[in-house]
Structure 1
Amino acid sequence: MSVQYFEGIGRRKEATARVRLMSGSGKFIVNQKLVEEYFPRLGDREAILKAFEATGQDGATFDVTVLVNGGGVTGQTDAVTLGLARALVKMNADFIPGLRKFGLLTRDPRIKERKKPGLKRARKAPTYTKR
């Protein structure tokens, strides 16, 4: 018999997170590491667990497994947060208003702007010389 789980995919910038949520004992694993090891900053962990807070669920009653790649720490944090929120919605659609109120179901559309020809970066122009 297979274990029933709810999966949510979250993306932010270049980061992609696949979050699997199942009933369990409160283990939170990110890329085969404990969440405390993978995200050592407290603010990052609080942002991720905000989805449980918004729905009134106790995170200790779920096991969460996350596979995340690409991007940096902030992008990965936000990708995991969105993936967890989407997994909670798949589990129970009644959570949508609470998660919406905290803005956890909205994918941040901001991505890196492309470099333009004649410029050094997306908007940085070469130094202007008058003579």
Structure 2
Amino acid sequence: MQIVNTIGRRKTSIARVYVKPGKGDIKINDRELKEYFLSEIHQTLVKQALAALKLEASYDVTVNVEGGGITGQAEAVRLGIARALVVISPENKPTLRKEGFMTRDSRMVERKKPGRRKARRKFQFSKR
């Protein structure tokens, strides 16, 4: 019984994902999925890669996730699970790529620049 270890990232969230054959349990930071991600949307996000391949009840997933917010963490977990499923079975890759689960979303928060209120917001201009 081998355990597959992968990593998923999104914004500043990092998810270390461990997938092994089992009956469909998903544990995140030693808590159940429904206990960690209270929102139904985030729970669905995490399960998307497994659902696309119809493997929800085939693998147990254990995740250590840190950094960022709830949505970033959920998307990082999704990427980690998708990568693990490709390691387990490379023929899953085209299906997951077509759904968009294999692509790392590289968008990050733009930094605040000096002399401005926010990253892009300038101070109010007064003509007179």
Identity value in percent = 45
Q: Cα RMSD over matched residues? A: 1.2
Query: What is the identity, as a one-letter code, of the residue corresponding to 1:108?
Result: D
- Give the whole-Å Cα distance in 2 for the aligned partners of 1:56 and 1:37: 23
- Give the whole-Å Cα distance in 2 for the aligned partners of 1:9 and 1:79: 8
TM-score using structure 2 length: 0.94
**Number of the residue aligned with 1:98:** 95
- Give the whole-Å Cα distance in 1 for the aligned partners of 2:52 and 2:93: 10
Please give the per-residue CA displacement for 1:45-101, whole angstroms capped at 9, x wherever unaligned: 1111110122232x2221100000000011001000000000101101000011011
Which of 6, 20, 26 does residue 22 from structure 1 map onto? 20
How far off is 1:38 after superposition? Answer: 0.4
**Number of the residue aligned with 1:111:** 108
Give yes or no for contact 1:8–1:85 (8 Å, CA) kept in 2. Answer: no
Unmatched 5+ stretches in structure 1: none
- Higher mean alpha-carbon deviation, 74-83 vs 18-27, is at 18-27
**Number of the residue aligned with 2:124:** 127
TM-score using structure 1 length: 0.92
Query: What is the identity, as a one-letter code, of the residue corresponding to 1:98?
Result: T
- Give the whole-Å Cα distance in 2 for the aligned partners of 1:98 and 1:5: 22
Runs of 4+ residues over 4 Å off in structure 1: none
